Chains A and B, each alone.
Chain A
Amino acid sequence: MQEVTLRVNGEDYTRKVEGRTLLAQFLRDQLRLTGTHIGCDTTQCGACTVLMDGRAVKSCTILAAAADGAEVQTIEGVAEGERLNFVQQAFHEHHALQCGFCTPGMVMAATDIIRRHEGVLDEMTVRRELEGNLCRCTGYHNIIKAVLAAAEVYRRSKAPAQATAN
């Protein structure tokens, strides 16, 4: 067992973990943040996607011990209190989920994609960058629509700042 400290959704947690404990297990079993899902054992489905130091990663394939000192954001950390954040809201409005199992991973992956591209996205880019997230229900169509809509919201929210700068 070794001690690790991770900042998860803005709060520091110090816990003892086994060498083999995966970040996804740490979040789910030790912190009880069960929004991060585990849908495969081949690192392919993306249901376990979280942001680690700002980048989307598959938490089922990272050791908790290796993540010592990292800053992690999970699906539990995105809503503003009772209010859905802009990515969740777009998923809701565009009917981008059915069973919802893949949704936490989709939202976290989408958040990285939107931020990295500063909200400037087209359908091809979204489809390409979401390849690591599988959905067995929706057929992806509405997920793509939701991500594009959320990107638009993100871009507009940044626009006034630029307008003032001009």
Chain B
Amino acid sequence: MYQTTYHKGQSLDQVRKLHAELPEPSYISGGFTLIPAMKNRLAAPENLIDLRALPELRGITRDGDRLRIGAASCHAEVAGSPEVAQSIPALALLADSIGDMQVRHMGTIGGSVANNDPAADYPAAVLALGATIITDQREIAAHDFFTGMYATDLAEGEIILRIDFPVPRSAGYAKLRNPASKYAIAASFVARGSDGSVRVAVTGAGEDGVFRWFDAEQALADRFETASVEALQPDPGMMLSDLHGSAEYRAALVKVMTARAVDAQGSVDIC
């Protein structure tokens, strides 16, 4: 790992100032994406600015029909939160399926969403639930936030404070994990909004990262049953192909995982 200087964040103003003034800065939260990358010299920030202790990024609250999750909440906090379990049980169970116990004790929802790994879990939930990403500068709709593999709409130095989820009528998540890395080979989050609209978001499979599967949304809005999904053919042309699975295999999995997520409303189906 290359040399770096660590700065503990004390206030929003201070971290923004540090980020603007120091050479080669990077924010850090749980560090469970950034530090492995630094150890392998895939990243070499000269200055690390720790966001974890900032009060603006903490806390999980239910506010009317919104569930607000602070960006620095670790996966275990989301998994164990009664507010999350009551509002969106599939989201709590998704958090409980990320990586392993030790990863869940450190990795944060803000870090996961900011990083937008093409196989990460939270981006699928954020997109399918139509959440809003609240930053120190503005509010960004999930649909505009994820802009491609490891890419987001965040500006240089912009900080995710929290994520606001509208509480859906129901939601479910199904995932096939890579047994070694625990990341999704393909996973689908299916949510039915309070207005009856359906959103389907797929992670792990797309060659541009997380994506909405509009054909499935339409079919499920007409009839909310697994048969609606089974009649569809996802396009292998837009799927990822790597040593874990071909594009054709992933296209088949997208269909299977989406059907399972329909069946798993109110819960998750992880294998």
Contacts from A to B (Cβ < 8 Å): 2, 18-20, 22, 41-44, 46, 49, 55-58, 61-63, 65-66, 68, 109, 112-113, 129-133
> What are 12 A-B contacts with C-beta separation under 8 Å?
A2-B6, A19-B3, A19-B4, A22-B35, A61-B32, A65-B6, A65-B8, A66-B31, A66-B50, A131-B101, A132-B100, A132-B101
| A-facing residues in B207-253 (Cβ within 8 Å) | none
C-beta contact mask, B85-102 vs A, less than 8 Å → 1, else 0? 000000000000001111
A63 touching B101 by the CB < 8 A rule? Answer: no
20 further interface pairs, Cβ-Cβ under 8 Å (given A19-B6, A43-B35): A19-B4, A20-B1, A20-B3, A20-B38, A22-B35, A41-B36, A41-B39, A41-B40, A42-B36, A43-B32, A44-B180, A44-B181, A56-B105, A57-B102, A61-B35, A63-B31, A66-B31, A66-B52, A130-B101, A132-B101
Contacts from B to A (Cβ < 8 Å): 1-6, 8, 28, 31-32, 35-36, 38-40, 48, 50, 52, 76, 99-103, 105-106, 180-182
Report chain A residues within 8 Å CB of B102: 46, 49, 56-58, 109, 132
B105 touching A46 by the CB < 8 A rule? Answer: no
Compute how far the CA of A65 lies from the CA of B50 in the bound complex, rounded to whole angstroms.
10
> Who on chain B is nearest to A131 by CB?
B100
A61 touching B36 by the CB < 8 A rule? Answer: yes
A62 touching B106 by the CB < 8 A rule? Answer: yes
